[in-house]
């Protein structure tokens, strides 16, 4: 088994060349719950360089987020680094978020810092408490939390609206922002494009007093939605369009789920996010590559606000990494929501969904997801990760932990004709097997061998193809942990369908007894006794999409759905599975890893989900 696991590992590592970061020296982490050394990458190198230089060593911390003055009155910051995971609570988290969580919380853990869980609720959209709870659950389930240095680091961006408003007023006072009342059409036209510089707005030369008065009008609700925006005054000719006087506040007469009707102007994400980072003393603000072009504005804003004494210094810095793109799934909350709404799946936690709740229900473990994020590493260029890499991580973690059991997914009866004659009519013979082959201390399971057994339909062939060593007339096969039988043929029903396989017991061949190996057989098959089999539904999942990149290039991903992604069979299981705890994982020998469904299983009546097969056997049809 160990050798097999190694082969799987090397195969999964071999399917792509090691990235530059994987070739870098490794850092051993003492804090993390994974014992493996983690590969270094450019973010680790940046953090290590900052720690070596003491970039953030003199910062002070108010004990909670705050302005420069509040932090200065506090203690030396006990956290060596601060990162953050900033979800918008508008959906369930997916595997891409898991990467971001493992990265941000993992780095904080490894470098004796803290990662903040920040709900980014600057949009006055309806926040759903279900999503907030699910996000907290997901972070904790992955093995992380936001408690550190004696306090909680769970924050929400809407708590900073006052400070953000103050920062906007400060920019106006400095002549660095103005209220623009061009129509949105003119504003778009005057922004220019990649080849044409922008044109200054006629409102750009307003005086400070005029801008303050107009911004106050916006603030008190005197202006309707869309009639004015506050813009940073930077450079309409900048080659970076994001620096052409970006909008920083807009009017939205909407009730916010936390601040109610206190505000009718809301900060734009590009303005709010750097300020949130700064107030929270974030050192390394890690985001995905789409935000690379926003970095100059991030730095511009941090520079102006630290010069004005509003935010703590040195300010945070933004670093970008490539988002996770995983083949055969979509990772966009909007698209996942559509799959749920249009009932292509049973819900956000459908075991085929790449959501954290879906993966969990499928049988994924936190260890497997952490191993996956370590294996795929962190890079600065976009790429697609093969779904098989995710599956390999699950296999490699479950191999060591999952209890073993036998199951038959497509049952056909095997009748042993001479059983009663040799063993006595109705006799049942107890067989045993280890719960885990490498952990004898985990004990044994037992089940009954008798005249009638269940075997897989595919384990019999009337006319065996070349290299087929299982049951066919005249061939001897071992029933694992049981006896050797010799096949004598089969019976068929009126439709010509296989109805029963017949065999004869070869005496004195019981596994574990002296002389059992005197007869050499090439085939060993799994089975379940007809006398003690437990019948249960088993859901066989395949990939949700037929195409590796279902939504690439704006394609209709619904058309790429795999119509055969779920097949439910009535399987026969060995008796040890009768009381499988919901959520527990097993290796069904020869078949793969299966988890007792967390939702539909009861302690008396299990329902199993196939988490992953034993081998990577996916062939796109
Ligand atoms: P979606 O497009 O699915 O709605 P999002 O980026 O809008 O995702 P947020 O809730 O804003 O979702 O994301 C929270 C954090 O998760 C962000 O810091 C974002 O960079 C990160 N994140 C989201 N998707 C991925 C991904 N595929 N790979 C890595 N990080 C991701
Ligand atoms: Mg978002």
Helices 95-110 & 42-53 angle (0-180, nearest 10): 30
Q: Rounded to whole angstroms, how far apart are CA atoms 611 and 579? A: 19
- What lines the ligand 1 site, CB under 6 Å? 86-88, 96-97, 99-100, 287-288, 323-324, 331-333
Average pLDDT over residues 288-312: 97
pTM over 0.85: yes
**Dist. CA 308 → ligand 2 center (Å):** 29
Ligand number with the minimum distance to the CA of 290: 1
Q: Is 571 helix (H, G, I), strand (E, B) or coil?
A: strand
Q: Is the pLDDT of residue 3 over 60?
A: no
**What pLDDT score does 124 carry?**
85
Please, what is the average pLDDT of the chain? 92
What does the pLDDT look like over 303-320, one tens digit per residue?
A: 999 999 999 999 999 999
- 84 is a catalytic site residue: no
**What pLDDT score does 4 carry?**
39
- HEC string for 252-295: CCCCECCCECCCCEEECHHHHHHHHHHHCCCCEEEEEHHHHHHH
**Pick from 492, 403, 495, 487: which is nearest to 453 by CA?**
487
Catalytic residue among 9, 252, 323, 504: 323
Average pLDDT over residues 592-618: 91
Q: Is 500 helix (H, G, I), strand (E, B) or coil?
A: strand
Q: Is the pLDDT of residue 243 over 90?
A: yes
Task: Using the Cα atoms of residue 322, residue 147, residue 73 and residue 67 in order, give the sign of their dihedral.
Answer: positive
Number of neighbouring beta carbons within 10 Å of residue 214: 21
**What pLDDT score does 36 carry?**
52
Burial (Cβ within 10 Å: 0-12, 13-18, ≥19) of residue 13: middle
Ligand number with the minimum distance to the CA of 288: 1
**What pLDDT score does 9 carry?**
35
What does the pLDDT look like over 424-471, one tens digit per residue?
A: 999 999 999 999 999 999 999 999 999 999 999 999 999 999 999 999
| Distances 483 to 378, 416, 426, 506, 526 between C-alpha atoms, Å | 51, 11, 17, 7, 11
- Please state, for a pLDDT cut of 70, what percent of the chain lies above it: 93
Number of neighbouring beta carbons within 10 Å of residue 535: 12
Q: Rounded to whole angstroms, how far apart are CA atoms 277 and 253? A: 26
Q: Which atom of ligand 1 is nearest to the CA of 101?
A: 16
DSSP per position, 503-569: EEE-TT--TTSTTTTSS--SEEE--EETTT-EEEEEEEE--SBSSSSTTGGG--GGGGB-TTSEEEE
**What pLDDT score does 432 carry?**
97
Q: Which atom of ligand 1 is nearest to the CA of 288?
A: 20
Catalytic residue among 333, 352, 361, 510: 333
Mutate to test the pocket of ligand 1, among 87, 118, 122, 290 (most ligand atoms within 8 A of CB): 87
**Dist. CA 355 → ligand 1 center (Å):** 12
- 88 is a catalytic site residue: yes
Ligand number with the minimum distance to the CA of 291: 1
Q: Rounded to whole angstroms, how far apart are CA atoms 391 and 364? A: 9
DSSP per position, 60-111: EE-SSS--HHHHHTSEEPS-S-EEEE---SSS--BHHHHHHHHHHHHHHHHT
Q: Is 467 helix (H, G, I), strand (E, B) or coil?
A: coil
Q: Rounded to whole angstroms, how far apart are CA atoms 22 and 24? A: 5
Average pLDDT over residues 251-256: 95
**Pick from 578, 595, 569: which is nearest to 534 by CA?**
578
Q: Work out the angle at residue 16's Cα, subtended by the Cα atoms of residues 14 and 17, and round it to the nearest 5 degrees.
A: 90
Q: Work out the angle at residue 112's Cα, subtended by the Cα atoms of residues 368 and 29, and round it to the nearest 5 degrees.
A: 45
Catalytic residue among 88, 181, 292, 461: 88
Instruction: Give the closest residue (by CA) to ligand 1 atom 22.
Output: 97
Q: Is the pLDDT of residue 601 over 70?
A: yes
**What pLDDT score does 37 carry?**
67
**Dist. CA 88 → ligand 2 center (Å):** 6
- Please state, for a pLDDT cut of 90, what percent of the chain lies above it: 88
Reported as a pLDDT band with limits 50, 70 and 90, residue 128 is confident
Mutate to test the pocket of ligand 1, among 276, 288, 321, 382 (most ligand atoms within 8 A of CB): 288
What does the pLDDT look like over 490-533, one tens digit per residue?
A: 999 999 999 999 999 999 999 999 988 888 999 999 999 999 99
Q: Which atom of ligand 1 is nearest to the CA of 291?
A: 20
Q: Rounded to whole angstroms, how far apart are CA atoms 543 and 345? A: 12
**What pLDDT score does 567 carry?**
97
Reported as a pLDDT band with limits 50, 70 and 90, residue 618 is low
Average pLDDT over residues 546-556: 93
- 333 is a catalytic site residue: yes
**What pLDDT score does 33 carry?**
43
Q: Which atom of ligand 1 is nearest to the CA of 334?
A: 4
Min mean pLDDT across 127-131, 151-155, 193-197 is at 127-131
Q: Which atom of ligand 1 is nearest to the CA of 321?
A: 29
Q: Is the pLDDT of residue 66 over 70?
A: yes
**What pLDDT score does 383 carry?**
86
Q: Rounded to whole angstroms, how far apart are CA atoms 51 and 230? A: 38
């Amino acid at each position: 088994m160990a050798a097999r696991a190694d082969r799987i590992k090397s195969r999964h590592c071999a399917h792509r060349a090691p990235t530059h970061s994987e070739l870098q020296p490794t850092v051993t982490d003492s804090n993390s719950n994974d014992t493996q050394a983690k590969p270094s990458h450019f973010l680790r190198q940046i953090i290590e360089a900052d720690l070596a230089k003491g970039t953030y060593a003199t910062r002070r911390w108010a004990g909670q987020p705050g302005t420069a003055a509040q932090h200065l009155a506090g203690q030396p910051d006990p956290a060596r680094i601060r990162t953050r995971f900033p979800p918008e609570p508008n959906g369930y988290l997916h595997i891409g978020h898991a990467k971001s969580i493992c990265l941000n919380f993992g780095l904080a853990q490894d470098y004796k810092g803290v990662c903040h869980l920040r709900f980014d609720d600057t949009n006055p959209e309806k926040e759903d408490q279900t999503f907030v709870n699910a996000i907290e659950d997901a972070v904790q389930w992955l093995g992380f939390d936001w408690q550190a240095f004696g306090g909680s680091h769970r924050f929400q961006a809407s708590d900073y609206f006052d400070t953000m408003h103050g920062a906007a007023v400060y920019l106006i006072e400095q002549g660095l922002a103005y209220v623009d009342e061009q129509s949105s059409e003119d504003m778009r036209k005057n922004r220019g494009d990649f080849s044409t510089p922008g044109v200054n707005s006629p409102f750009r030369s307003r005086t400070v007093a005029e801008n303050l008065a107009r911004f106050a009008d916006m603030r008190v609700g005197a202006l309707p939605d869309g009639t004015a925006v506050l813009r940073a005054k930077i450079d309409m000719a900048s080659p970076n369009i994001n620096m052409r006087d970006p909008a920083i506040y807009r009017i939205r007469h909407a009730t916010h789920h936390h601040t109610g009707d206190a505000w009718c102007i809301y900060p734009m994400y590009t303005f709010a996010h750097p300020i949130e980072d700064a107030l929270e003393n974030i050192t390394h603000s890690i985001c995905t590559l789409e935000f690379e072009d926003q970095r100059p504005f991030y730095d511009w804003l941090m520079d102006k606000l630290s010069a004005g004494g509003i935010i703590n210094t040195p300010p945070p810095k933004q670093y970008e990494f490539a988002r996770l793109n995983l083949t055969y799934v979509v990772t966009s909350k909007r698209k996942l929501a559509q799959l749920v709404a249009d009932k292509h799946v049973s819900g956000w936690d459908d075991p085929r969904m790449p959501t954290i709740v879906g993966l969990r229900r499928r049988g994924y473990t936190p260890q497997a997801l952490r191993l996956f994020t370590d294996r795929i590493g962190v890079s600065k260029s976009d790429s697609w990760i093969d779904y098989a890499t995710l599956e390999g991580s699950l296999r490699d973690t479950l191999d060591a932990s999952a209890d073993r059991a036998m199951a038959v997914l497509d049952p056909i009866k095997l009748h042993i004709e001479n059983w009663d004659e040799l063993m006595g009519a109705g006799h049942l013979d107890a067989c045993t097997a280890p719960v885990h082959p490498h952990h004898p201390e985990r004990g044994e399971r037992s089940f009954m061998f008798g005249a009638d057994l269940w075997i897989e339909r595919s384990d019999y062939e009337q006319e065996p193809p070349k290299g087929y060593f299982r049951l066919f007339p005249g061939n001897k096969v071992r029933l694992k942990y049981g006896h050797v039988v010799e096949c004598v043929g089969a019976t068929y029903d009126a439709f010509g369908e296989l109805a029963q396989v017949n065999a004869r017991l070869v005496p004195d061949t019981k596994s574990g007894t002296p002389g059992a190996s005197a007869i050499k057989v090439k085939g060993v098959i799994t089975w379940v006794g007809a006398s003690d089999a437990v019948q249960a539904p088993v859901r066989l999942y395949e990939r949700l999409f037929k195409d590796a990149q279902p939504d690439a290039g704006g394609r209709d991903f619904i058309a790429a759905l795999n119509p055969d992604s779920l097949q439910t069979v009535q399987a026969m299981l060995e008796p040890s599975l009768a009381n499988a705890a919901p959520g527990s994982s097993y290796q069904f020998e020869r078949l793969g890893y299966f988890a007792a469904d967390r939702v539909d299983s009861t302690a008396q009546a299990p329902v199993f989900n196939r988490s992953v097969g034993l081998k990577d056997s996916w062939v796109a049809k």
